[in-house]
Structure 1
Amino acid sequence: MADRERILKIRDLSISFQTDAGQVNAIRGVDLDLYKGETIAIVGESGSGKSVTTKAIMGILANNGKIESGSIEYVWHDENTGERQERDIVKLSEREMQKEIRGRKIAMVFQDPMTSLNPTMTIGKQVMEPMIYHYGKSKEEAYQKAVELLQEVGITDAEKRMKNYPHQLSGGMRQRVVIAIALSCDPYVLICDEPTTALDVTIQATILELIQDIQRKKDLSVIYITHDLGVVAKVADFVNVMYAGKIIETGTINEIFYDPRHPYTWGLLSSMPDLDTDDDELYTIPGTPPNLAHEIKGDAFAPRNQFALNIDLRVEPPMFDVPGSNSHKVASWLMHEKAPKVEMPETLKKRIEKMKEEGLANGK
């Protein structure tokens, strides 16, 4: 593991939004690492801060958003000299982000391909545009590369498709075009924000396999944003569980799926649909996420946590290391050596045993 090359390092990232209801502290001290060629997933309920974190990486926060503190260090090797370069994205101007980072070093695939594509431009123009802008390619060069990219993402009759408009393609085809655009400038990092949500179930697996195949060929580092743990199990090396603007558990895919330690992670895994269950109803985590426009004292999950301790209402838990692991960390006072021993629900234990038998996580 010593030769892993870190490509993205986020430390103590805090982001707020000014709204009519006051200041909303959407991201509250996020730490995150991404290594070359690896895939991390960020999971959690809607509103937990997954998409806001990645929009900050891309420098596309909404106008009322502000990075209060922290750093997003992006590391790469210069294409000409091979020298190691490092930039703090937080400190870059919009122009620098546009020219140096966005699309060129870090690209993003959004969840709805219809809103990602310009309905008034042909597919070809949209795939060619980043190459002409970032690398000054001639129209002929860009055209040839665009055709190759469309073929690479599995679009048949690519030259004909270059002349089509988005509305003339199916949802799956449009998402392939969005992936082709994201890959057009050979980025080092690909962010996939719910890349299969708007697609038919039969197309979802194909798109995930396509992204994985391209990742292997190009040695890309990938960040998946999703609430679908089934997707996570198929694609991720590491998982970061987010709740109320913080990462509350992080570890390898097997650690999170087979040895989860945070009660919120227990809830997420318990709420996965299971065809073999005897229960009539799907499990849901009780309560609702906190209002981030209000100050949060202690552990944000405490009001929904049946195992909450007295200290949870007063003091925010730090990240505890799980004994015997270098990668598994949990922000819960239950991990403290003096905390009472709490077992995960019996139904979840049985589910995990079943997942182990099926080798769900990462196809293992």
Structure 2
Amino acid sequence: MSETVLSIRNLSISFQTASGMVNAIRGVDLELRKGETVAIVGESGSGKSVTVKAIMRILSSNGQINAGSILFHYEEKGKRVTQDLLKLSQKEMRSQINGRRIAMVFQDPMTSLNPTMTIGNQIMESMIIHLKKSRAEAHERALELLHLVGICDPEKRMKCYPHQLSGGMRQRVVIAIMLACDPEVLICDEPTTALDVTIQAKILELIKTIQAKTGISVIYITHDLGVVAKVADYVTVMYAGKMIERGTVEEIFYDPRHPYTWGLLSSMPDMGSPNEKLYTIPGSPPNLLHPITGDAFAPRNVHALNIDFKLEPPMFKVTDTHYAATWLLHENAPKIEMSETLKARMDHVAKEAESEWGEKQSYELLI
């Protein structure tokens, strides 16, 4: 088993709003190991982006971290160092961690690029500041990075401004900037949402190819389970600010145990499904302005037990790598399985995912 690079323990975050205090993150645990990809999935508002922004310490001004730790393990001059990122000052984060050891790719590349600077200067900037490289050394490395991310004629593109590039090329440039200082961790917050499906596939393959070459660890934030099947080693499912199921990508796709995960997988659009109607999870996520009693998913769960409305379920162990927070896994709970309609859709989704994995293993991106 690879060594741990990042450990989040019991993270709790709230936001002060005009309506009151929103408890957005309620005791999150996450572990990332060297060279692996962890995908965090869930509906909009489940807390995915807030969790990774806490890692980078870029929460909005009305946010506050109430409890927990974010332990980052890395090599420094031949020694293994452990830092609690929550105990570092903003200045220390900017100078020691952000961009240098942990980098983040955002959803819209135009918000990450400076429209007044050339592409070359933006890639070179972090190397000159963090790595103390000369402009000549940074220029040479920038050309290598543009070639690595699949941009043709990198010498010419170095002189371009962001508005002169397509959306896919801008996202490749952002990835090149993030890789400039050889970070240990790359966080991708829905980096392909604003791109068409053809470019999306190329960006996903690009990230996997770079990961194979560099050994970088990746956290992938997405609500698209098709993307998860392509990129992830492990999957964490979030709901209402908590991690409610985690396991390997095979365990989550082939043997999901939480009713919310059943709903997520079943609501994927599927042209080959025998069911004409698209499944939707009933109800809406809870209002995190108010305290939650019991299981946050209970009001939407058709299989909810009486205890779900009274006590929050712990993480029950399914295998050494698979855990789910649902009372249905308790030894005294009634044996309930997903409906036949959902199971039929799940079986088809699993076959589609298996097909994707086969294609992924046989396909090489030429860059």
TM range (shorter): over 0.9
Matched position secondary structure for 2:52? helix
Find out whether 1:259 has 2:244 as its counterpart.
no
Question: 1:91 is matched with which residue?
Answer: 87
Find out whether 1:234 has 2:230 as its counterpart.
yes
- 1:195: how far off? 1.0
- 1:350: how far off? 2.0
- Separation in 2, partners of 1:357, 1:297: 38
Question: 1:51 is matched with which residue?
Answer: 49
Question: 2:339 is matched with which residue?
Answer: 345
Find out whether 1:69 has 2:63 as its counterpart.
no
- Separation in 2, partners of 1:276, 1:52: 35
- Separation in 2, partners of 1:173, 1:189: 22
- 1:360: how far off? 4.4
Checking the alignment, whether the CA contact within 8 Å between 1:237 and 1:362 is kept in structure 2 is no
Alignment of 1:57-136 (within 5 A): 57-78=55-76, 80=77, 82-136=78-132
Alignment of 1:145-224 (within 5 A): 145-224=141-220
Question: 2:365 is matched with which residue?
Answer: none
Question: 1:30 is matched with which residue?
Answer: 28
Counterpart AA for 2:3: E
Checking the alignment, whether the CA contact within 8 Å between 2:273 and 2:348 is kept in structure 1 is no
Checking the alignment, whether the CA contact within 8 Å between 1:236 and 1:362 is kept in structure 2 is no
The two structures have a TM-score, normalised by structure 2, of 0.96
Question: 1:329 is matched with which residue?
Answer: 323
- Separation in 1, partners of 2:339, 2:272: 18
Counterpart AA for 1:337: E
Runs of 4+ displaced beyond 6 Å:
none
- Separation in 2, partners of 1:72, 1:336: 30
Counterpart AA for 2:60: A
Find out whether 1:289 has 2:289 as its counterpart.
no
Give deviations 1:83-130, integer Å, cap 9, x for gaps. Answer: 110000011000110111111110001111111111111111111111
Alignment RMSD (CA, Å): 1.1
Question: 2:13 is matched with which residue?
Answer: 15
Counterpart AA for 1:41: A
- Separation in 2, partners of 1:25, 1:16: 4
- Separation in 1, partners of 2:350, 2:286: 33
Matched position secondary structure for 1:312? helix
Counterpart AA for 1:338: N
- 1:294: how far off? 0.8
What is the number of equivalent residue pairs in this alignment?
A: 358
Checking the alignment, whether the CA contact within 8 Å between 2:266 and 2:346 is kept in structure 1 is no
- Separation in 2, partners of 1:157, 1:29: 48
Moved more, 339-348 or 297-306: 339-348
- 1:356: how far off? 4.1
Checking the alignment, whether the CA contact within 8 Å between 2:316 and 2:323 is kept in structure 1 is yes
Unaligned runs of 5+ in 1: none
- Separation in 1, partners of 2:357, 2:340: 24
Judging changes above 3 Å, is the alpha-carbon distance between structure 1 residues 203 and 262 closer, same or farther for their aligned structure 2 residues?
same
Checking the alignment, whether the CA contact within 8 Å between 2:265 and 2:349 is kept in structure 1 is no
Give deviations 1:289-316, integer Å, cap 9, x for gaps. Answer: 0111111111100110001111111111
- Separation in 1, partners of 2:200, 2:338: 31
Unaligned runs of 5+ in 2: 362-367
- 1:353: how far off? 2.7
Moved more, 111-120 or 205-214: 111-120
Counterpart AA for 2:6: L
Matched position secondary structure for 2:28? strand
Checking the alignment, whether the CA contact within 8 Å between 2:11 and 2:69 is kept in structure 1 is yes
Find out whether 1:299 has 2:295 as its counterpart.
yes
